[in-house]
Amino acid sequence: MQDASFLERIKGWLFHAFPHHLVSRITFRLTRLDTPLKYPVIWLVIRAFKVDMSEAAEPDPRRYATFNAFFTRALKLGARPLADGAEAIASPADGAVSQLGEIDSGRIFQAKGQSFSVLELLGGSAVRAAPFLSGKFCTIYLSPRDYHRVHMPLDGRLREMLHVPGRLFSVSQYATRVIPRLFARNERMAAIFDTAFGPMAVVMVGAVNVSAIETVWAGLVTPPAGKGVRSVDYTQDSAAAVRLKRGEEMGRFNMGSTAILLFGDARVAWDASLRVDMAVKMGAEIGRAALISRRGGHAVSQGNAIA
């Protein structure tokens, strides 16, 4: 990862004074207006970012009621084949790998000279963060051209959802180099699941103009931004249990942002071909996991060996 340039540092400094939430709330309103002005904006985005509309369930840009409907468009059936095998970890989103690797003493690598803690990413609870302190992470950046729905990497049962208010800094590559603890400072939604391979968290991080984060079980999580961490426990009421299969939609962004995937320990191995800035597609295999059973008090790996 290259060092930040002087110009990037100036941009980062200016971004601290930028009215993130005000601009994003205006964007929220404008992108949901059913007005003829949406058509030139949609066409501009398609051309500027080379959006492939042939993959969309509705390929005709004129058929979308609002700009947001276009931006959160569904894909055609079969447009994203799902990786084979229950132990295959499916990419939760289209995008580019920002970083991936091991969580080192509870800290996640952001960029050269920059990192942040699992504790602050997950809202400041030591109990919540504890299972992930020596785990694995993968950060995926979604650009404006990408499909903006987030899907399940593995089968899982939702344990907890939390909304953490914060800033809405840009999450572009330059921002990761110049804004300390960027992903732990931006507004975010974290969903923590129990899986056959241990705990898994999918963190959807907001950014400027990312004026909505939604989940399939709770609808719109933000806005409103709120002033404190809000947590919902989904384990207390069996009638409210949320179980999702690998590849099922779990949420969506408006505009581009970042999804961070966390696993609890070394039972997960990322695919050896993954590299920083490498493009990935939702559903593609990005790693593998192994089941752990306990016999006579000892942990025993099942299936493929995991490095």
Other beta carbons less than 10 A from residue 151's beta carbon:
26
Report in angstroms the alpha-carbon separations of 188 from 221, 294, 298.
9, 35, 37
Q: Across the strands, what pairs with 201?
A: 192, 262
User: Is 257 designated active site?
Assistant: yes
Using alpha carbons, select from 180, 185, 189, 100 the residue that is nearest to residue 140: 100
Q: Which of 20, 94, 115, 155 is catalytic?
A: 94
User: Is 94 designated active site?
Assistant: yes
Specify the amino acid at residue 192. Answer: I
**How far is the C-alpha of 193 from the C-alpha of 82, rounded, in Å?**
20
Q: Which of 98, 170, 211, 257 is catalytic?
A: 257
Please give the structure tokens belonging to residue 156.
């899982």
**How far is the C-alpha of 158 from the C-alpha of 243, rounded, in Å?**
6
CB within 8 Å of 3: residues ≥ 6 apart: 112, 113, 177
Q: Which of 20, 148, 151, 163 is catalytic?
A: 151
User: Is 16 designated active site?
Assistant: no
Longest dimension (CA), the chain: 68
- Catalytic positions, written as ranges: 94, 151, 257
